[in-house]
Amino acid sequence: MIFEQEFAEKQRQVEDILRQYAPAPSGMQKTVTEAMNYSLMAGGKRLRPILIGECCRLFGGSYEDAAPFMAALEMIHTYSLVHDDLPAMDDDDTRRGRPTTHVVYGEAMGVLAGDGLLNYAYEVMAAAVSEAADGQTMARRAGAMAVLSRKAGVYGMVGGQTVDVESEGKPVSKDTLDFIYALKTGALIEGAMMAGAILAGASEEEVAAVEKIASGVGLAFQIQDDILDEVGDSKELGKPVGSDRKNEKTTYVTLYSVEEASRMVEELSNRSVELLHSVEEGHPGDGFLEALLLYLIHRKK
């Protein structure tokens, strides 16, 4: 099966998992759950949950083992997008080719939908921990939950977003930009790959190696995002381009150039793949994880 077909099949698996764990729109508060589901089921590449599933598979687990955490991480990722789109943040009216959540449901409900998705993600993970059939499974699930919690919080994505917001309209050094990218973007990719490995029982050394792979991938992913915001096609991306310049943000493109940024993406990509090969020596894969990482780094949308 070629990569595109296999990727599409795994995306369908994630969609099924999301439908299984999504909150039911019922009760007097159903507007917020409708807004949560509008955001969660809006499509997208589903890269982060697939990364959990594939890293779990690499170390001997399965998508079934990882399912609640795959759903929870996509909820966390989606909440961050809902809040990013708000007028107080990036003020975007479209995402993935359709109106953003706050445009459809109002700004206040957009805030609540993001809050709801974040909290519901922890409900899903906590339930998976409490429902574990044995102590070893419980420990692995608790470990995965701890990693995702930290990578999503003030020492991860939220921390990176904080520095990003505070840096708008100001000169930003490369060190500060790398800090923002490592936390704002890289942290959830690291969390995804680490959680998948932990759920399958990988050793501490293996989890550390996976984190290092993900760190390189995350930086390359964000630099590629900078490039796409500068030279991408808004129809293909499903969102406006040029927002970084509009918001006076420092990026790798503004610090260097599109050409130099592209060279850095290639260098980071090669390093991450080499490290993945060293990990796979003890756990032979089927090549899909490597293909997925390369797709993630070199994507066009």
d(CA 167, CA 180): 10
Q: What per-residue confidence (pLDDT) applies to 124?
A: 98
Q: What is the CATH number assigned to the segment(s) 3-298?
A: 1.10.600.10
77-91, 109-123, 280-294: least confident range: 280-294
Q: What per-residue confidence (pLDDT) applies to 247?
A: 65
pLDDT, mean of residues 106-130:
98
pLDDT, mean of residues 107-118:
98
Share of the chain above pLDDT 90, in %: 83
Q: Is the pLDDT of residue 52 over 60?
A: yes
Helix (H) and strand (E) counts in the chain: 16, 2
Q: What per-residue confidence (pLDDT) applies to 284?
A: 76
Q: Is residue 240 very low, low, confident or very high in pLDDT (cuts 50, 70, 90)?
A: low
pLDDT, mean of residues 211-228:
95
- The mean pLDDT value of the chain amounts to 93
Write down the domain spans for the chain: 3-298
Q: Is residue 283 very low, low, confident or very high in pLDDT (cuts 50, 70, 90)?
A: confident
Q: Is the pLDDT of residue 121 over 70?
A: yes
pTM of structure: 0.92
pLDDT, mean of residues 6-35:
96
Q: What per-residue confidence (pLDDT) applies to 281?
A: 86
Most confident of 113-122, 238-247, 286-295: 113-122
Q: How do residues 65-99 score in pLDDT, each as one tens digit?
A: 999 999 999 999 999 999 999 999 988 999 988 99
Q: Is the pLDDT of residue 19 over 90?
A: yes
List the alpha helices (DSSP H) in the chain.
Answer: 3-21, 30-40, 47-58, 63-84, 101-105, 107-130, 135-152, 157-167, 174-181, 187-199, 204-231, 234-237, 243-246, 252-255, 258-280, 288-298
pLDDT, mean of residues 254-261:
93
Q: Are 120 and 36 in contact (CB under 8 A)?
A: yes
Q: How do residues 143-177 score in pLDDT, each as one tens digit?
A: 999 999 999 999 999 999 999 899 888 889 999 99
Task: Give the residue from 191, 192, 200, 195 showing the smallest Cα distance to 61.
Answer: 200
